[in-house]
Amino acid sequence: MKYSVDYSISVLFIFALTIFPNHSYVVAQPNFLPFAEIWELLTQKPFGDFLYNFFGNIILFVPFGFFYPLRFPKRNRMAQVVTAGLLLSVTVECIQTMQPARMTDIDDVILNTAGTWAGYKLSYFYSTIIKGRN
């Protein structure tokens, strides 16, 4: 099946970076208030921390959004792809509630979903413009 390896690697990469304990961060309370962590990083932490968190969460899900519609062509509508990314992100955050060195954050879900959307748009561009020329 075309793109199945690429899709699988993108999912495994997400889990590898988000599930396994990360001892470089201080364990904090879960954040369920949208944009609270983003605002705190932007106003009270070094700007590099904000950039790492903001763009890291978006970029992490771009490959998923790109490969999902290529791997599942019958589920290639934007709403279906973005919903799949949202559900994957919520799953990750739920698993993180059971990890002692991970923090559950609604902002991560928002940014991961934005990354899925961006990946979908790139996939759409690839499928209609680049691939369509061949």
Q: Which domain does 57 fall in, by range?
A: 4-133
Comparing CA positions, the residue from 134, 121, 132, 10 lying closest to residue 71 is: 10
**Per-residue pLDDT, 24:** 61
pLDDT tens profile 82-130: 999 999 999 999 999 888 778 899 999 999 999 999 999 999 999 888 7
**Per-residue pLDDT, 1:** 64
**Per-residue pLDDT, 101:** 78
**Per-residue pLDDT, 25:** 58
Comparing CA positions, the residue from 71, 80, 62 lying closest to residue 121 is: 62
- 0.75 exceeded by the pTM? yes
Query: How many domains does the chain fold into?
Result: 1
**Per-residue pLDDT, 125:** 94
